[in-house]
Structures are given as C-alpha cells and as structure tokens.
Amino acid sequence: MKILFRNVIIGFFLCIGFNLGSYAQTPSKGAYQLTENVHYRTDTAQDAYVKERCVLDLYLPKDQKGFPTVVWFHGGGLTGGEKHIPNELKEKGIAVVAVNYRLSPKAKNPAYIEDAAAAVAWVFQHIDDYGGDPSRIFAAGHSAGGYLVAMIGLDKSWLATYGVDADQLAGIIDFSGHAITHMTIRGEQGIKDTQPTIDRYAPLFHVRKDAPPIVLVSGDRELEMLGRYEESAYFYRMLKVVGHPQVYLYELDGFDHGNMAGPGHHILLQHVFGKNSKQ
C-alpha cells in the first residue's frame, strides 16, 4: 500500500511539473481583489465573540464570471489559527473564501461546526453577486478545517439549517482532518486524545454513497500526527464500501502534518479544474 501511494504521488507531481499550465496558468490572467472581514452570521449584535470571529475574506477574480470558489478553513485544533488565503491558490482563476470560526475554550462544540455551515451557506447565497458559479463551490480545509468540511459535507443537517443541500457542493477537499470525533471535542467530553471515539461528531459516522466528490489528502503516515493517515485511509475505505463513486486518497511521502498543505493545494486545483470535478 505504501509503495502504491508513493507511485501515485510521484506520478501526480510529474504531471504537475509538465502540465501545470493546463489548469492554472490560463485561468489566472487578470486582476484580483481582496475584501476582508465580511460577517457571515446575522446574530453578531447579540454575541461579541460571534462578531469577532465569524468573519470571512473574499479573494476574487475581477471582471470575470462563472469561476469556481474554494471555501478554505484554517487548521489549529479548533483552539487556534486564523483565516488566510493560501499562496498556492492565488491567481489561479478561482475565488478563495477564507473563514474564521469560533474557537475552544471560549466556544464549545458544536459552535465550530455551526460556524462552518453558516459560512458555506453564506457563499452559496452570495457568490453569484460577485460573479462566481454557485454550482462550483468546493469546501476545503487543513486539519481542524478538514474535519469541519467533512462534517458539514457528510452530515446534511448542518447546512440544511440554512436551506442549503450539502449535495450542492462541487466537492469536499479534506487535508489531514480527523475522521473520528475531533480531539478537542473529545477533550471537552473528558476523553483523552489517544482514546478514539466515533459518534455523531465524527465524519466517519456519516459516510454515505450519495455525498459530493471527496478528496482526502494526508501527510506521510510515519510523519503525520496521532494516526491521522490511518484515519484518512479508513475513511476512504468505508466510503468505498458504502458505494461512494468519487472518493480519492493521497498520501504525501516526506511531508508531515504541518507542511503537507503546500503540495496538497496542487491536488486541490487538479480536482477543481480536472475531469473528476463536478462541473
């Protein structure tokens, strides 16, 4: 298995080296604009912490129409981190929406998941106003962010609260996120981080064959944290078992949990623009 995924990744990056222009250079022509700290929840007047944290940044191609959008959630264990536009996604012909969300211990579960759903719903409701294609919205994130997009993409109840069907997502792109219940949520329940739990707050609990296309990207299994590659691999396998037709697993040899996101963005772009994306 290890050799298989090494060959997949080596072949993939050889393809990137020779064919990057086919999906990145041509769409990147033109100017881009950044709009910062847009509130995506309507209840900011009632909660100072919601007003502080529930904001997003919009990085948009100017004078273009019909572009895809990546809603990007930062990592940080649900206890830290800040929204940012990944450099690898700039000037690639896509909109990037970078999201802040409430953090533990100031907020408790399920506030983080509620915020992720509210932010993605805001994008569905407004991206057309900025020229984006509502049928080409991808939810993506690293670590805690990967966990959040897997939760709201597989458990349809979170987005349904805002009148959005999770199956409208063009794809779920999860960089090294927990497939089991997140360690911070387990900590809030008094469970140590080495004790795995699969409950309704685990993406694994909600595997279904009719979910949007799912891309799982992990760092090297020997360098990742707390069995994260094995979680991704089991998540992949169970999605295949239930009959999901478009789930992909990548292991990035030589990259640990922190630095796997950089090369992972090239995989993200391949699925946004490639033949496996829902367009």
pLDDT for 141-179, tens place per residue?
A: 999 999 999 999 999 999 999 999 999 999 999 999 999
Rg of the Cα trace of the chain? 18
Kindly list the structural domains of the chain, giving each domain's residue range(s) and its CATH number in brackets, ordered by start: 2-273 (3.40.50.1820)
Distances (CA, A) of 125 to 76, 156, 201: 27, 17, 26
Separation of alpha carbons 117 and 204, rounded Å: 18
Q: What is the mean pLDDT of residues 129-144?
A: 98
pLDDT for 46-82, tens place per residue?
A: 799 999 999 999 999 999 999 999 999 999 999 999 9
Q: What is the mean pLDDT of residues 200-213?
A: 98
pLDDT for 230-253, tens place per residue?
A: 999 999 999 999 999 999 999 999
DSSP symbol at 93? S
Please, which residues bridge with residue 250 across strands? 217
pLDDT for 169-183, tens place per residue?
A: 999 999 999 999 999
